[in-house]
Chain A
Amino acid sequence: MVNPPFTRHTTEETMNESRTDTAPLVSTAAAEVVDAVMRIEDVDVYYGDFLAVKDVDLQFARHEITALIGPSGCGKSTVMRCLNRMNDLIPSARVEGKVYFNDRNIYDPDVDPVEVRRRVGMVFQRPNPFPKSIYENVAWGARINGFKGKRGEMDDLVERALTQAALWDEVKDKLHESGYSLSGGQQQRLCIARALAPDPEVLLMDEPASALDPIATLRIEELMLTLKEQYTIIIVTHNMQQAGRVSDRTAFFSVDVDERGQRTGKLVEFDFTDKLFTSPSEKETEDYITGRFG
């Protein structure tokens, strides 16, 4: 069977589809996701022989912000990197299980990870602009993905992406200066604009504010709340307050240590953020969010 290419999900489709087939999750009875853009089913991630994360089931709701939290080494970043197949870039990494993006398993052998990454954009922990002009930073992703606009249309696209990333007013007069001429917070917003330019559906943000000062962090958080109108956002964060402020749902990860001292991440609890922070179902979650561990 030839799989159709990924298509942008429309509201119409959502209404016609039933989601009763989704597997039950860990402690998530109350938080069942009706319209999931991405679903992780029974995923184990190995680095060589070492099991890094085991048995994760998660669903990411459309136009919501889902936060992945947990102590260091619990595999939350690893899980996020399954969502756009960035784990493929680590030679020893192996992902078992299924990850669906609009009902298509992105780990099917006939799926090209390049296509997945174009639809599922990513913002990294440290701002990493290309050593090129601000304009080129944003335009490149669209161009390599076959954007066939004329010169003026590309300008519009760059302006739109920079506006969405709340950076346009600050850089509109210096579009041809280096991306590195900006401050750290601006660089990170440039990276967000860059990720938006190829027109993704999902935006993965791997601790996007951890290298920024509190004011820049606040701007990024405000930005995320605006962006979720158009995109589905999944964010990994160390900062529980941040998860509380921005996310609709939160997944809490923790670590199991076996008798040989190997640390394996696991999903403990997934629920609406309000619920998870106020009345968690699991003892481990409660210990973590009240600061007794982690």
Chain B
Amino acid sequence: MSVDAPPRRDERFPTDVEYRDLLDRRTRRARVFQVVSLLALTTGVVALATLIYTIVNDSFGWVAVVNAREPEEVVEDLGFDPAEVSLADIPYDDLVGLLQATVPTGVGRRLEREQRFYEDRLVFEATATWDALCASEGAPLGCTAPPRDHANLLALIQERVIVPDVIASYELVPSLLDPDGFTRRLEEGFAAGRFPDVDIDRVRIEWRNWFNPTFLRTPASSIPEIAGIRTAVLGSAWLVLITIGFAVPVGVGAAIYLVEYAKPSRLNSFIQTNIYNLAGVPSIVYGMLGLAILVRALEPVTSGAIFTAGPAPSDNGRTILSAGITLGLLTLPVVIISAQEALTAVPNSLRNAALGLGATRWQMVRSHVLPVAMPGILTGSILAVARAIGETAPLILVGAASFITVDPTGPFSKFTALPIQIFQWTSYPQEEFRNIAAAASLALLILLLLLNAGAVILRNRYIRKARW
């Protein structure tokens, strides 16, 4: 080629100058879209941060408490030195005496029917009434349950004798930024006569972690200061187990069938479409399903009646098992879809290699496809289960107990769950319930984080196992 030959140019492309202009415009447009996507991310992050802020802000802070009786007074009245002995150190018998002296006999009887104070004697009930009661059809829990322990009694004393009442609370962020603001606000409140029944000298200002170990360990109560989420956490934990136990095997099995065995047919594509549709069905509809099928139609199973010869573990189908399976059904389509996607992502060359060696389809799936698909299946399943654990609507329909203080002991127990507890607490008028609802939300978030962490750990184990 000769040197001075003019460079060939296709006239349909822009000239160099035009091209540079065009390039500038393209770069600018690219930058705009980059900013837009960054904004989208920021919106998400800000929303999440606000959520966490609200929950944490309500879970900690200053409170103004007024006790009906001060613990020190109580200790002194019982003949101990309040300087040396705290309420928690007082012997069981003295506490029972205190309770006997404080609560009306009717209330005492009710407490005793819930759970006895002593194995061998009765405090509030007469022996004859008690025996008749225990022999009757609807014998109270106290007839069979073990007697109360010291911690339980102490909680009762708190609830019935000390009766702490939070008259005002101050959230975490203002508590940190303006520590004196609370006292100022209280004084203003007293000056304006907003606390007519309260003696200003009896007000104690305390720092309160609403989210504390005691909160996790104690069951619900109608008094927010001593209410806890023990029953709800245990209920939610049981639900997680049953939901996973139902949704994961069934969902993965269905996905294996659809991906590995099913031949393309009209029926199979109909099923496939409807799995996608089911994934979008509102959770309340699953609640209806659970109520109609599991609670009502399958009552002998869900109440545990067919598993025992004696009386059923539960007198109706509103049990953990019903709720767990309802949540499992709700989760199932999502588990199937994510498992299908994980299975489809396994390269076909792996299937050919296994089948070409004379493996049956199951040997191929079991040894090669499943191990490779496992990380994806686990991630999808656990995310779906985590979603379900926060569901409230289906649990309300299936009949989560609104107030229950007895730990769930198995799949046939009555139960409550964290979202239910939160929902109820937020609907009460007293302001302190808002604080414990926030603390319970924090517990729910932590439960979900633990689940997700579990998923990540399992996934990494499987990723290491497959040796690409």
Query: Once the chains bind, are A140 and B357 in contact (CB under 8 Å)?
Result: yes
A289 within 8 A of B: no
State which of A69-77, A124-132, A221-229 sits at the interface with chain B.
A124-132
Contact status of A118 and B352, CB under 8 A, knowing A91-B264, A178-B467, A180-B468: no
- Within A56-79, the residues touching B (CB, 8 Å) are none
State which of A18-26, A190-198, A250-258, A280-288 sits at the interface with chain B.
A190-198
In the complex, which of the residues A89, A119, A145, A180 contacts B467, with contact meaning CB atoms closer than 8 Å? Answer: A180
Query: Once the chains bind, are A178 and B353 in contact (CB under 8 Å)?
Result: no
- Using CB atoms, name the residue of chain B closest to A180: B468
- Using CB atoms, name the residue of chain A closest to B466: A131
Minimum Cβ distance to chain A for residue B367 (Å): 7
B204 within 8 A of A: no
Contact status of A130 and B368, CB under 8 A, knowing A86-B356, A118-B357: yes
- Using CB atoms, name the residue of chain B closest to A115: B358
Q: How far is the CA of A179 from the CA of B368 in the complex (A)?
A: 14
A185 within 8 A of B: no
Query: Once the chains bind, are A128 and B467 in contact (CB under 8 Å)?
Result: no
B86 within 8 A of A: no
Query: Once the chains bind, are A86 and B467 in contact (CB under 8 Å)?
Result: no
Q: Which residues of A contact B427 (CB under 8 A)?
A: none
Q: Which residues of B contact A144 (CB under 8 A)?
A: 357-360, 363, 367
Total count of chain B residues near the partner, CB < 8 A: 23
Query: Once the chains bind, are B357 and A195 in contact (CB under 8 Å)?
Result: yes
Q: How far is the CA of A88 from the CA of B389 in the complex (A)?
A: 43
Q: How far is the CA of A130 from the CA of B349 in the complex (A)?
A: 9
- Within B434-468, the residues touching A (CB, 8 Å) are 466-468
Q: How far is the CA of A178 from the CA of B464 in the complex (A)?
A: 11
- Using CB atoms, name the residue of chain A closest to B467: A178
Contact status of A195 and B356, CB under 8 A, knowing A124-B349, A128-B349, A131-B466: yes
Query: Once the chains bind, are B367 and A140 in contact (CB under 8 Å)?
Result: yes
Minimum Cβ distance to chain B for residue A208 (Å): 13
Minimum Cβ distance to chain A for residue B309 (Å): 46
Q: Which residues of A contact B345 (CB under 8 A)?
A: none
- Using CB atoms, name the residue of chain B closest to A134: B467
Query: Once the chains bind, are A117 and B467 in contact (CB under 8 Å)?
Result: no
Q: How far is the CA of A91 from the CA of B347 in the complex (A)?
A: 17
Minimum Cβ distance to chain B for residue A93 (Å): 12
Query: Once the chains bind, are A194 and B349 in contact (CB under 8 Å)?
Result: no
Query: Once the chains bind, are A130 and B356 in contact (CB under 8 Å)?
Result: no
Contact status of A86 and B353, CB under 8 A, knowing A118-B358, A131-B467, A144-B358: no
Query: Once the chains bind, are B354 and A130 in contact (CB under 8 Å)?
Result: yes
Q: How far is the CA of A145 from the CA of B349 in the complex (A)?
A: 20
Minimum Cβ distance to chain B for residue A115 (Å): 7
B69 within 8 A of A: no
Q: Which residues of B contact A166 (CB under 8 A)?
A: none
- Using CB atoms, name the residue of chain A closest to B359: A144
Minimum Cβ distance to chain B for residue A90 (Å): 11
B263 within 8 A of A: yes
Minimum Cβ distance to chain B for residue A5 (Å): 13
In the complex, which of the residues B263, B351, B356, B367 contacts A117, with contact meaning CB atoms closer than 8 Å? Answer: B356
B372 within 8 A of A: yes
Query: Once the chains bind, are B467 and A124 in contact (CB under 8 Å)?
Result: no
Per-residue CB proximity of B231-266 to A under 8 Å, as 1/0?
000000000000000000000000000000001100
Query: Once the chains bind, are B353 and A117 in contact (CB under 8 Å)?
Result: no
Q: Which residues of A contact B468 (CB under 8 A)?
A: 131, 178, 180
Q: Which residues of B contact A40 (CB under 8 A)?
A: none
- Within A111-143, the residues touching B (CB, 8 Å) are 114-119, 121-122, 124, 126, 128-133, 140-141
Query: Once the chains bind, are B358 and A86 in contact (CB under 8 Å)?
Result: no
Q: Which residues of B contact A126 (CB under 8 A)?
A: 349
Q: Which residues of B contact A178 (CB under 8 A)?
A: 467-468
In the complex, which of the residues A124, A133, A145, A191 contacts B358, with contact meaning CB atoms closer than 8 Å? Answer: A145
Contact status of A194 and B350, CB under 8 A, knowing A132-B467, A180-B467, A180-B468: no
In the complex, which of the residues B349, B357, B363, B367 contacts A198, with contact meaning CB atoms closer than 8 Å? Answer: B357
Query: Once the chains bind, are B353 and A128 in contact (CB under 8 Å)?
Result: yes
- Within A141-168, the residues touching B (CB, 8 Å) are 141, 144-145
- Within B352-392, the residues touching A (CB, 8 Å) are 352-360, 363, 367-368, 371-372
Query: Once the chains bind, are A86 and B355 in contact (CB under 8 Å)?
Result: yes
Q: Which residues of A contact B367 (CB under 8 A)?
A: 130, 140, 144
Q: Which residues of A contact B263 (CB under 8 A)?
A: 91
- Using CB atoms, name the residue of chain A closest to B346: A131
Contact status of A179 and B467, CB under 8 A, knowing A130-B350, A131-B372: yes
Q: 11 A–B contact pairs at CB < 8 A?
A: A91-B264, A114-B360, A121-B356, A121-B357, A124-B353, A128-B352, A130-B353, A132-B467, A144-B360, A145-B357, A180-B467
CB-based closest 9 A-B pairs: A118-B358, A178-B467, A141-B357, A128-B349, A122-B356, A117-B358, A131-B466, A128-B353, A131-B468
Binding site for A on B (CB under 8 A): 263-264, 347, 349-360, 363, 367-368, 371-372, 466-468
Q: A130-B350, A144-B358 are in contact. List 8 more A-B contacts (CB 8 A).
A: A86-B352, A114-B358, A114-B360, A117-B355, A117-B358, A122-B352, A178-B467, A180-B468
